[in-house]
Copies of this chain bind each other. A is one copy, B any other.
Amino acid sequence: MHSFVNKPGDSIARSLAGMAACYPNLLRVHFDPDFVQRAQPGRAGKVVVITGSGSGHEPLPTGYVGLGMLDAACPGPIFTSPTPDQLLAATHAVEQGAGVVYIVKNYAGAVFNSEICTEELSREGIRARKVLVNDDVAIPEISNRRGLGAAPIVIRIAGAAAEAGRPLEEVVAVSVRAAENARSMGFATNIETLPRSIHALPLGDHTVELGVGIHGEPGVEQQVEGAEEIVERLMQPIVDDLPYRSGDRVLLLVSGLGGTPPLELFLFFQHIYEFLESRGIVVQRRLVGNYLTSLGRGGCTVTLLRLDDELLGLWDAPIHTPTLHW
């Protein structure tokens, strides 16, 4: 990946400006501190949902701003959480008196910053709550688990609940339930080849890293024979962890890290689908694409959300963001 956004600050700001120019009916961008909010403010008196995320994971967070999802998003520098002043400014811009929910991926910096922000807001009399996303089963200790593919899902559930007019504590409760019922794991490819040589590249005997993070945190190197074996090694730990059992209904998200083409994502999806079917797990909703990325890295993350009628209803409710729209 040859990068043009590496000039600190300026390039990211221009990219944000470009995004707002691309979606003038959906987004407004604010600079210094940087945040993106809905072009049309949410219904008066609703709870607002905000998330921050380092840049380089697009469409997270800015691509999820809109009806039924985020009221505002705060992008940080590449792979670095946004700072409390961004969260505060975004909150002041969109909060309506019913409180704010921060969806926070469980990374030290993101957690600390949301705490600092929440402490400040409590001095101002604004009710702020934090919902942690920690779905990555590659980390054994639950309290230490990273937020991965469940982030867009939990944001969606929170956004739908807020859009439905539910009060702060209910929005928090259902979002926490979504987070608790979601599990993820990812892998990354290590060999980089130009597409021109694709025909010459033999399949098999490849090394992939299982259990990587989305900021380049290393995983465990493994020799694998192909897509099917990777799927096996990803899905077994995910399914065993919650666990997801025969008869469970799930939402399945297969998100590329950015550099893996759709052709491969659908190949993985097909193997994953067969894996789940053979265990009696019912895939009720599915998303395949780049929903949470790591710049242009090859690989993907797989996320399951165990559905119940309430979560399914919230998932299916109207949504209109640059990335998701139904």
Contact = CB atoms under 8 A, between A and B. Distances in A.
A243 interface: no
A277 to B, nearest CB: 10
B78 A199 contact: yes
Classify the interface of chain A: helix, strand, loop or mixed: mixed
B21 A296 contact: no
A270 interface: yes
Contact of A191 (B2, B202, B295): B2
Contact of A22 (B6, B15, B58, B266): B266
7 contacts: A2-B191, A6-B203, A15-B264, A21-B286, A63-B262, A194-B297, A296-B296
A195 B296 contact: yes
A234 to B, nearest CB: 13
Contacts of A296: 195, 259-261, 296, 298
Given A7-B226, A15-B270, A295 B190 contact: no
A266 B297 contact: no
A4 B271 CA distance: 12
A261 B258 contact: yes
B201 A267 contact: no
Contacts of A298: 1-2, 296
Ordered nearest first, which 6 A-B pairs have the shortest CB separation? A18-B270, A2-B189, A196-B216, A18-B266, A58-B262, A15-B267
Interface size class of A (residues with CB under 8 A): 35 or more
Interface in A5-24: 5-7, 11-12, 14-19, 21-22
A227 interface: yes
A4 B196 contact: no
Given A1-B189, A2-B206, A55-B263, 19 more contacts: A1-B193, A2-B208, A4-B227, A4-B264, A4-B268, A5-B263, A7-B203, A11-B267, A15-B266, A17-B270, A18-B268, A18-B269, A21-B269, A21-B270, A56-B198, A58-B262, A59-B262, A195-B295, A261-B296
Nearest to A19: B266
